[in-house]
Amino acid sequence: MQTRKSVFCRALQILLVTCTLYFFYATVLEKAREASWSDAVSDFVRRSLSDGVFGHIGNRTLGFEHIYAIGLEERTDKRDFMALTTAVSGITVQWMDGVRPDELHEKSLPQGYNLTLMKPAAVGCWRAHMNALNDMLSNGYSTALILEDDADWDVTLRAQLQEFAVGLHALKGTRKISKEAPYGVDWDVLWIGGCASGPNSSETDFYAIPNDPTVPRTEHRGTWGGPLEQWKEQYPEYPEDSTRFVYRSAMGCCTYGYAVSKRGAQNVLMQLSVDHIEGAIDNAMSDLCGFHPNRTRIECYAPFPNLVGTYRRAGSAARDSDINVLDWDQVHGEEAWNLIYSTRMNIHRLVAGERTVYSQWDEDVPWSDREMNLDEFVYPRGHLVRG
Ligand SMILES: *[C@@H]1O[C@H](CO)[C@@H](O)[C@H](O)[C@H]1NC(C)=O
Ligand SMILES: *[C@@H]1O[C@H](CO)[C@@H](O)[C@H](O)[C@H]1NC(C)=O
Ligand SMILES: *[C@@H]1O[C@H](CO)[C@@H](O)[C@H](O)[C@H]1NC(C)=O
Ligand SMILES: *[C@@H]1O[C@H](CO)[C@@H](O)[C@H](O)[C@H]1NC(C)=O
């Protein structure tokens, strides 16, 4: 009797669960699938599926399968600071050693590189990035984020990345987002950190995140490119000073941080190592994102301003770069490019466990406060704009 009753209960339970699942599927998921990517849908997706679908952006590799940090082994100063910055951000990186000029072999150079014509340190930089792509493919990672050792980011990086992912899916019209791939895998490069990016001059679609408290005013930025003049004229509701844009990018510069999919790693390694390369790695990758007559175009997306900046500690400029030889006598203050609440500039507070961080700019602007509480911060939502 007891057993028959519990069997009956179990059957009823299963029926109930099935009905609930069916109801959920029929109403919620079907609605998500059929609706187009209007504002309402990005809101809908965010509200109902946010934690589930974008939850992995909260993990130690920011929702990518792997993160590399590239840097010369002897730059222990940069490794220490990167170790601290990733520790307070809850990020795990694998170091990929930078390549010194004396480690380069003439025979291994791709067509187009010549050590008497190209700066050997720049060739070493290209090689280190190729080594990261090579390692990624050897390990079968579906996506990887590649950072340089002086990369810096806003303390709110995960919230920014989640909205960037919403924008990316909105632009691509993604139908189904998988928890295992919060950014998807059907793009080549997500150029989230650099000193420039820009859409093709005929581009009409973008995702705009207005009143973004983590966007520095244009006069504080060390970037170029960004939204097209015609966008600015047509959509004055998205002022350049306070809006973050996301778009398909046709150019880029500087490789502070970029993500590649497996497809992207294959395309970049093929075109910039197996085929040929002229000039620095970032300029060559920029050619791939744009329309270069001798290249096959890849699919690149970028936020503007970028999300991963670069940090320079106060003192001599000679310490900044391992590629360019800069003057020891030339000094500058502490710099974190294109960031408001720089993780590195707030490192003492973050290590002390404080929940209040400060903007690097001693000013209050309408969309961003000088002081920010990590527990109260809410990242704004964006809108898809289709021209
Ligand atoms: C590199 O360029 C120099 C100067 O143009 C030339 O003399 C040399 O033969 C080149 N080396 C290779 C391996 O092509
Ligand atoms: C983070 O999430 C991504 C996407 O699901 C996954 O590929 C990666 O393995 C996760 N990383 C960690 C450290 O769990
Ligand atoms: C913009 O895209 C068009 C194709 O849509 C292409 O023909 C043109 O060369 C591109 N412009 C630039 C500046 O790359
Ligand atoms: C494309 O490649 C050809 C042959 O290698 C070369 O002559 C030409 O200058 C290249 N064009 C550009 C724009 O780089």
HEC assignment per residue over 184-224 = CCCCCEEEEECCEEECCCCCCCEEEECCCCCCCCHHHCCCE
**Measured from the CA of 278, which atom of ligand 4 is nearest?**
14
Token couple for 133: 């792509």
Q: Please state the length of the chain.
A: 387
- Let me know if 12 is exposed, middle or buried by CB neighbors in 10 A (0-12, 13-18, 19+): exposed
**292 C-alpha vs ligand 3 centroid, how far in Å?**
9
C-alpha 199/C-alpha 216 separation (Å) is: 20
Token couple for 338: 């294109």
Q: Which ligand is nearest to the CA of 58?
A: 2
C-alpha 2/C-alpha 7 separation (Å) is: 9
Chosen CATH of 57-311+378-385 out of 3.30.60, 3.90.550, 3.30.70, 1.20.58: 3.90.550
C-alpha 13/C-alpha 8 separation (Å) is: 9
Q: Which ligand is nearest to the CA of 67?
A: 2
What is the DSSP pairing of strand 151-153 with strand 308-312?
A: antiparallel
The Cα-based distances of 387 to 166, 171, 187, 213, 245 in angstroms read 19, 12, 22, 26, 14
C-alpha 7/C-alpha 15 separation (Å) is: 12
At 354 the pLDDT is 96
Does residue 210 have a cis peptide bond before it, meaning omega lies within 30 degrees of 0?
A: no
Q: Which amino acid is at 236?
A: P
Q: Interhelix angle for 157-172 vs 39-54, to 10°?
A: 130
Cα angle, residue 176 at apex, residues 227 and 213 outer, rounded to 5°: 35
Phi-psi region of 131 (alpha: psi -120 to 50; beta: other; left: phi over 0): alpha
**20 C-alpha vs ligand 1 centroid, how far in Å?**
71
Q: Which ligand is nearest to the CA of 180?
A: 2
* Residue identifier of the C-alpha nearest atom 6 of ligand 1: 116
Contact present, 225 and 304 (Cβ < 8 Å): yes
**123 C-alpha vs ligand 2 centroid, how far in Å?**
32
At 51 the pLDDT is 57
The Cα-based distances of 50 to 33, 193, 302, 307, 343 in angstroms read 15, 24, 21, 20, 25
**3-state SS, residue 160:** helix
**Measured from the CA of 200, which atom of ligand 3 is nearest?**
1
* Residue identifier of the C-alpha nearest atom 4 of ligand 3: 202
At 11 the pLDDT is 52
pLDDT along the chain (387 residues), means of 10: 48 49 43 42 46 90 98 97 97 98 95 94 97 98 98 97 97 94 98 97 98 97 96 97 98 98 98 97 98 96 98 87 78 92 97 96 94 96 95
